[in-house]
Amino acid sequence: MRVAVLTLRTLVTLALTILGLLLITFVIGRVVPIDPVLKIVGDRALPEVYERVRQELGLHLPIWQQVLLYLQKVLSGDFGRSALTGQPVLADIARFFPATVELATAATLLGVALGVPMGVLAAVRQGRLADHLVRVLGLVGYSVPVFWLGLMGLVLFYAKLGWVEGPGRLGVAFEDLLEPVTGLLLVDAALAGEWEIFRNALGHLALPASILGYFSLAYISRMTRSFMLAELRQEYVTTARVKGVPEWRVVWRHALGNCLVPLITVVALSYGSLLEGAVLTETVFAWPGLGRYITESLFNADMNAVLGGTIVVGCVFIGLNLLSDLLYRLLDPRARA
């Protein structure tokens, strides 16, 4: 019974949030100073043509009917056509999204693999050199513009040192050789056994993923540190030490084990914010993902595409929040009651 109520409440909240999201995008779409009718018919159209298109778009209806119409269209997956590609926006997004997922996932993996141990180290050595170093690294991550760091990374690691491949996802020689299965190049190349393509794709991914991963690292290490500090103050830690449990076990098993549940929430949130950071990073690295699609459409005043992308990213964001919430309830017995 309780579970049913809880599930129902979660679903209602979810529906309300998505409704709110769509209402916001509707309002944003209405704010546009460009007359959508004029954009279609051109400014030398006859008044009757203008009026007909206006009616077709439903702009003569009262505003609440327009809202309903908009909701109906969006919920059935119709985001309109992109002026830039001529394709339905949803098809475009499906094509570009895997690139963003690949980038954000690689970045999150980096952030977790480095950020968690750094946070633990900082907490154990609180107030000492290691702690200060981690803190400075985190502060820099919070303060530096991601697109600028990306540009500087390109100058240093691509142009000067030649350690990584340049902008884009693949070298020109390798393009279109691979049949997309998942859309994630690394996975597709590995599945096809094309290791040369794999290496090239990895070379292209390394720098943008490291730049984004750094931001995820800054956040994750900071949160890990504060969770660990709280745990290390608990009495069970003292008990474990007193009864002779080795220190590494106290830290990495007992204390860190109890931080894992809140950390999952942190990782989910940072994944969401990486999708956001991807907008600027993808622009810098000419990475053909959703973020670049949004910004390119933006320059062409292609609001269908911009709002479609916004809705998709917003939904992923909401989904991640929900997922972390559910995992939290599932894993933490205290939150289950």
Query: Is 321 near another protein (CB under 8 A)?
Result: yes
CA distances 270 to 78, 84, 175, 213, Å, are: 29, 31, 31, 10
Q: Spell out, one character per residue from 263 to 282, where the chain touches another protein: x when CB under 8 A holds, - when not.
A: ---------xx-xxx-xx--
Cβ neighbours of 273 (radius 10 Å): 16
Query: Is 59 near another protein (CB under 8 A)?
Result: no
Q: Spell out, one character per residue from 157 to 186, where the chain touches another protein: x when CB under 8 A holds, - when not.
A: --x---------------------------
DSSP-derived secondary structure for 193-246: T-HHHHHHHHHHHHHHHHHHHHHHHHHHHHHHHHHHHHHHTSHHHHHHHHTT--
CB nearer another protein, residue 52 or residue 135:
135
Query: Is 8 near another protein (CB under 8 A)?
Result: no
Report d(CA 335, CA 337) in Å as an integer.
6
Q: Return the residue of 5, 33, 176, 242 that touches another protein, per CB under 8 A.
A: 33
Query: Is 152 near another protein (CB under 8 A)?
Result: yes
Residue ranges in 281-300 that form contacts with another protein under rule CB under 8 A: 283-284, 294-295, 298-299
Q: Is 268 exposed, middle or buried (0-12, 13-18, 19+ CB in 10 A)?
A: buried
Supply 68's token pair: 């309903």
Query: Is 105 near another protein (CB under 8 A)?
Result: no
Q: Spell out, one character per residue from 131 to 150, where the chain touches another protein: x when CB under 8 A holds, - when not.
A: --------xx-xxxxxxxx-
Beta bridge pairs of residue 296? none
Contact 305, 89 (CB under 8 A): yes
Supply 207's token pair: 């720098």
Give the footprint of another protein on this chain (CB under 8 A).
Answer: 13, 16-17, 20-21, 24-25, 28-29, 31-33, 139-140, 142-149, 151-152, 154-155, 159, 272-273, 275-277, 279-280, 283-284, 294-295, 298-299, 301, 303, 306-307, 309-310, 313-314, 317-318, 321
